[in-house]
Chains A and B, each alone.
Chain A
Amino acid sequence: MHELAVCQGLVDEIARVARAQGADEVQAVTVAVGALAGVESGLLERAFVIARAGTVAAQARLQLQSLPARVACSECGAEAEVAPNRLLCPACGGWRVRVVGGEELLLIRVELTRAVPAALQVQV
């Protein structure tokens, strides 16, 4: 499905970070996946193995953080975790809600090794 396209975006972003940091290897990356992002975690993990091949992230572990759907009700003020297919306010049943969590599809952390220690790069 589209998880491979999403992973290609992820690998591009990892490569950009690695370049900016002067890194020659990426050990691990952490990605946040919201319940409303439309991405299946298991498929993302399998697609990452394909997408990372031949890149700076070829050996990288993918760590996923699943985030639940959350809504904030504009009528009663309640904020709560909800099922992705039931986004009404669980407290008052109202539909005037804002989705405040669950749409995330974010690269949040990259663990990398530099070719040259950072101390040397900045202190020369």
Chain B
Amino acid sequence: MCANCGCAVPGDHAVHAHGHHHHGDGTHAPAPSEAVAVLTGLLDANDREAKHNREHLDAYGVLAVNLMSSPGAGKTRLLEATIDALAGRLRIAVIEGDLETENDARRIRAKGVPAVQITTGTACHLDAHMVHDALHEIDLGNLDILFIENVGNLVCPAAFDLGQHLNVTLLSVTEGADKPAKYPVMFRASDLLLLTKTDLLAVIDDFDPQEARGHFRALANPAPVFQVSARQPETLAPWIAWLEIQRAHRRATAGSQPRPQAWNAAA
């Protein structure tokens, strides 16, 4: 990276300068232009805040799941059905991300589950800072799973760590089966792929679940793929079992980590 000293590894140095106008006698030319070698991520500030969110969630042993998909793939509908399926077993809260309206949060609250709506205005994704603010409105001590329903968008949300533990991507059977090939960054980051609205497969003959799986596997992603329909609660069984396993794993892992000090004071 740096032609002057050959340094290239992140962490080798924070920042250092090399004058490009060295003279033989050790003096500098007037007002020299200098090249400064830096190796910092453009999203480092977001990533730091995401890490902070994750530490806070871990302090309470809460599993955070980031739901992503295109608009209309059925994220909110899936959450409603999931809340019904987990009723009395796991305590849930939801952070809803949309450009406008409280509609989705209202739907979740109607199920008796706390929901915080983030309206992003024109922003096409949630970021760690927005989630941080929302976390302050949630009683984490009384919670098992926090769902973060990201803004419906297969591009931008993939670039921003929120502090979640797991990414779940929904692909509805009314979309193209080649979405994983068209939006590889998001599907590569998925810990689980849900093919949704599968009750419609009976009347839709141009979506091949095997083809969708093939495009997903071409991203070298070994994550499970489940076919679900929120209208047919029995199809949700693998998804619910997956959540319960991830939740148990999270609790076991988080218990071994020290609780961060004075999180609220640092916020």
**A84-124 contact mask (Cβ, 8 Å, vs B): 1 or 0:** 11111000000111010000011111111110011100000
B257: CB under 8 A from chain A? no
Question: B45 near A108 (CB under 8 angstroms)?
Answer: no
Contact A31 B42 (CB under 8 A): yes
Task: Flag if A114 contacts B32 (CB, 8 Å).
Answer: yes
What mask results when residues 26 to 59 of chain A are scored 1 for a CB within 8 Å of chain B, else 0?
0100010000111100000000000000000000
Q: Is the CB of A95 within 8 A of B33?
A: no
Residue of A nearest to B47 (CB): A9
| A9 proximity list for chain B (CB < 8 A) | 42-46
The one of B27, B37, B155, B219 in contact with A85, judged by C-beta atoms closer than 8 angstroms, is B219
| In the complex, residue of chain B having the shortest beta-carbon distance to the beta carbon of A44 | B42
CB-defined contacts of B39 to chain A, threshold 8 Å: 106-108
* Chain A interface size, under 10 / 10 to 19 / 20 to 34 / 35 or more: 35 or more
Inter-chain contact B218/A111, CB cutoff 8 Å: no
Stretch at the interface among B73-81, B180-188, B190-198, B244-252: B180-188
Q: Are B42 and A13 in contact (CB under 8 A)?
A: yes
How far is the CB of A18 from the nearest CB of chain B, in Å? 9
Majority secondary structure, A binding face: mixed
Q: Is B158 an interface residue (CB 8 A)?
A: yes
> Which of chain B's residues 28-72 have a Cβ closer than 8 Å to chain A?
28, 30-46
Partner of A38, one of B10, B159, B219: B159
Q: Which residue of B lies closest to A88 (CB)?
A: B220
Taking CB atoms, residues of chain B closer than 8 Å to A5 are 123, 125, 127, 160
Known A-B contacts A86-B218, A106-B41; the reply to A1 vs B19 at CB < 8 A is no
Contact yes or no, B155 A105, CB < 8 A:
no
Cα-based distance from A80 to B44 in the complex (angstroms): 28
Q: Take A1-B124, A2-B160, A87-B188 as given contacts and tell me if A95 and B222 are in contact as well, using a CB distance cutoff of 8 Å.
A: yes
- A13 closest partner in B (C-beta): B40
Taken together as a complex, chains A and B put the C-alpha atoms of A6 and B127 apart, in Å, by 11
B17 at the interface (CB under 8 A from A): yes
In chain A, what residue has the closest Cβ to B37?
A: A109
A96 to B127, CA, bound (A): 30
Measured between beta carbons, the chain B residues less than 8 angstroms from A110 are 35-36, 38
| Cα–Cα, bound, A109→B181 (Å) | 33
Which of B114-133 touch A at CB < 8 Å? 123-125, 127
Asked if A21 contacts B17 (CB within 8 A), the reply is: yes
Given the interface pairs A2-B125, A118-B32, the reply to whether A105 lies near B42 with Cβ below 8 Å is: yes
A117 and B31 contact, CB distance less than 8 A: yes
Closest B-chain residue to A120, C-beta based? Answer: B28
A99 to B39, CA, bound (A): 19
Interface residues of B (CB under 8 A from A): 1-2, 10, 15, 17, 19, 27-28, 30-46, 123-125, 127, 155-156, 158-160, 180-182, 184-186, 188, 215, 217-222
Please name the 10 residue pairs, one residue from A and one from B, whose CB atoms are nearest each other, closest first.
A2-B156, A38-B185, A85-B184, A87-B220, A38-B159, A95-B220, A119-B28, A110-B36, A85-B181, A9-B42
Can you identify 28 A-B contacts, CB atoms within 8 angstroms? A1-B124, A1-B155, A1-B156, A2-B156, A5-B123, A5-B125, A6-B42, A7-B42, A13-B40, A17-B15, A17-B38, A21-B36, A23-B34, A36-B184, A38-B185, A85-B180, A85-B181, A86-B218, A87-B188, A87-B218, A87-B220, A88-B220, A97-B220, A105-B43, A106-B41, A109-B38, A113-B34, A114-B31
Q: A2-B123, A38-B186, A107-B38 are in contact. List 15 more A-B contacts (CB 8 A).
A: A1-B156, A2-B159, A5-B125, A6-B42, A21-B15, A23-B34, A38-B155, A85-B184, A86-B218, A88-B218, A95-B221, A106-B39, A107-B40, A108-B39, A113-B32
